Structure 1
Amino acid sequence: MQESIGKADVLIEALKYIKQFYGKTIVIKYGGHAMIDEELKEKVILDIVLMKYIGMNPVIVHGGGPEITEVMDKMGKKSEFVKGLRVTDAEAMEIVEMVLGRINKGLVALINEHGAKAVGLSGKDAGLISAEKCKMDVDLGFVGDVSEIDPTIINVLDREGFIPVISSIGTCNGDTYNINADLVAGEIAASLKAEKLIMLTDVRGIMRDPKDEKTLISTIKVSEIDSLENEKVISGGMLPKVEACEIALRGGVKKTHIIDGRISHSILLEIFTDSGIGTQIIA
């Protein structure tokens, strides 16, 4: 009986958040170990399906870094990176597009199996993501930045009850570009004026000491980011995630969150509990 009462208490705690976020758009950047571990993947998908069933509008953005590298290795093509960005020639771009398409279809199928309706998109569809060639001292090939988001197709799918699942490629003058999925998620969240942007990662959040989870910073204001970067508290792979959060907040998103996707049902824990998890970045 006590266990049942405990479950009821959890539902009551969630009720105020269900009311608060009913009809609101939540953009989820899906990546990290939660994309590879089948058990975690199942739980992430269940979280997203539940969000849809209780009246929220989840939008998923995904990349595919580890799988792209794995396929390129199998095809005998070496992966090169400059400042964390994959050098992408025409052959590599074909591989990137193929792998992202496969990941996208897999996620869509899994969501549909659990009773929701998902539609897979790439930035090519309906002019969703317009790109521009990434400007760096080194030519990275078909690596791009987002120049514009046209969210029309996302809004149509939301209205019709579908969950959009978006891969991070864009187009410019007929060419296809590989774009950092974190930044795509931030730009899409901004274009939708989403309620939240949630970034799934393989760490607890932003920590002053990466080796000590007790140093987790639960809330960061945008005004504090520069000093944290100078102190190297924010560095490496966390930089594009924080930049994505800044883009989203500048675009009118209310809150952004960097959470540990390795935690079971991490999305639900962030949205529907008083304590939340990870690091929230706010304006």
Structure 2
Amino acid sequence: MMNPAWLRARRQTQMLADALPYIRSLYAKTVVIHIGDHPGDDGQLMPALARDIALLKLVGVKPIIVHGHDHDEQIHDTVLLRLRLINRNQHLIDMINQYGSKAIGLTGQDGLCIHAIPAAPSTVLHMPHFADISSIEAAVIHLLHSNDFVPVIAPLGTAPDGTLVPLSANRLAALLARSLKADKLIDMLDQADFTHLTSLHRTLLTANELANRIKQGWASRLPPSLRSLLDTAIDAVRTNVQTIHLIDRQHPSALLLELLTSEGIGITIRSDHGPHFIADSTHYLDDDACSVHGLPPRPPQRIVRF
């Protein structure tokens, strides 16, 4: 009878062997992570998310975090909204730093020049006045990455008069990913929004395939905010961003499961023109590598979701 501790170690070794090609493929890659607009359950989810971000940074990924707004922030008081966003920014920075990374906060005034045009007052009750983003100068992101920092960005832009104005976090993340030519943009959705997307019955689509489904009426019943997110995602993957991942942020370790496993747990949108796969690092998965760790031989695999 095999020792349970040995069996546990063997399973862990196989999990690591499975993850190594993905870790290798993500090394030094820029990944913009929009952590969602409804983080009302920070007490449980946010510390785990901060840990996963720190782990990605540890293995060489270059994460950029854009956080969003709470349900109760759908208000007209933009001064209060700015204050809450800045407070949340600092809260997330503190949690990431607790796991050994160096995070630093940014707004549209802190070197990350996000120029915005204030929106006209909304006629819809409880809807915030999100400004239109006119341009992004993201050179400071490269500077922070070169000094091993994790940028954490509050969705606040700079108006022509120098004041901070609230932005759509979803649109900011997408435009930032385009500006940086990011390898990946990850939208972490709340459970209700992600459930809507499961009606696609697909986990991997090109931009054209998703756009055609929308034209055919599939998205007619989606909430307006989710439809806007999909339109923004299609534009991003057609303009500099290689792949976009839509995942359920309520799922434990959703970020790691999506990026470091062959199955993933979300929906991937990729470029129409490729590349549509990356070569698998079969060095880690061939018979010789498996035999070193006492694992059964297995055929080489290819990573097809990236």
SS of corresponding position for 1:194: coil
Matches within 5 A, 1:265-276: 265-276=253-264
Name the residue aligned to 1:97: 82
Name the residue aligned to 1:225: 210
- Rounded to whole Å, the distance in 2 between the matches of 1:63 and 1:214 is 25
Q: Do 1:129 and 1:146's aligned partners in 2 also have CA atoms closer than 8 Å?
A: yes
Name the residue aligned to 1:168: 155
Unaligned runs of at least 5 residues, structure 2: 1-5, 272-306
Q: 1:67 to 1:125 in 2, by over 3 A?
A: farther
Unaligned runs of at least 5 residues, structure 1: 70-78, 80-87
Q: 1:233 to 1:118 in 2, by over 3 A?
A: same
Name the residue aligned to 1:124: 109
Q: Do 1:30 and 1:60's aligned partners in 2 also have CA atoms closer than 8 Å?
A: yes
Deviation per CA, 1:45-82: give whole Å up to 9, x if none. Answer: 1110001111111000011232525xxxxxxxxx3xxx
In the alignment, does 2:96 pair up with 1:111?
A: yes
Name the residue aligned to 2:183: 195
Q: Do 1:57 and 1:163's aligned partners in 2 also have CA atoms closer than 8 Å?
A: yes
SS of corresponding position for 2:144: helix
In the alignment, does 2:30 pair up with 1:25?
A: yes
Higher deviation after alignment, 261-270 or 126-135:
126-135
Report which of the two structures shows the higher radius of gyration computed on alpha carbons. Answer: 2
Name the residue aligned to 2:7: 2
- Rounded to whole Å, the distance in 2 between the matches of 1:137 and 1:121 is 27
The answer to which structure has the higher strand fraction is: 1
Deviation per CA, 1:226-251: give whole Å up to 9, x if none. Answer: 44334243621312321332232133
- Rounded to whole Å, the distance in 1 between the matches of 2:219 and 2:138 is 34
Overall identity of the aligned pairs, in % = 29
The letter for the 2-side match of 1:271 is L
Name the residue aligned to 1:74: none
Q: Do 2:35 and 2:65's aligned partners in 1 also have CA atoms closer than 8 Å?
A: yes
The letter for the 2-side match of 1:248 is A
- Rounded to whole Å, the distance in 1 between the matches of 2:268 and 2:119 is 28
Q: 1:203 to 1:229 in 2, by over 3 A?
A: farther
Q: Do 1:28 and 1:59's aligned partners in 2 also have CA atoms closer than 8 Å?
A: yes
Scaled by the length of structure 2, what TM-score is found?
0.78
Shift in Å, 1:117: 0.4
The letter for the 2-side match of 1:198 is I
Higher deviation after alignment, 10-19 or 24-33:
24-33
SS of corresponding position for 2:28: coil
SS of corresponding position for 2:202: coil
| Cα RMSD for the two superposed structures | 2.5
Q: Do 1:67 and 1:99's aligned partners in 2 also have CA atoms closer than 8 Å?
A: no
- Rounded to whole Å, the distance in 1 between the matches of 2:154 and 2:210 is 28
The letter for the 1-side match of 2:62 is N
Question: Number of residues paired by the alignment?
Answer: 260
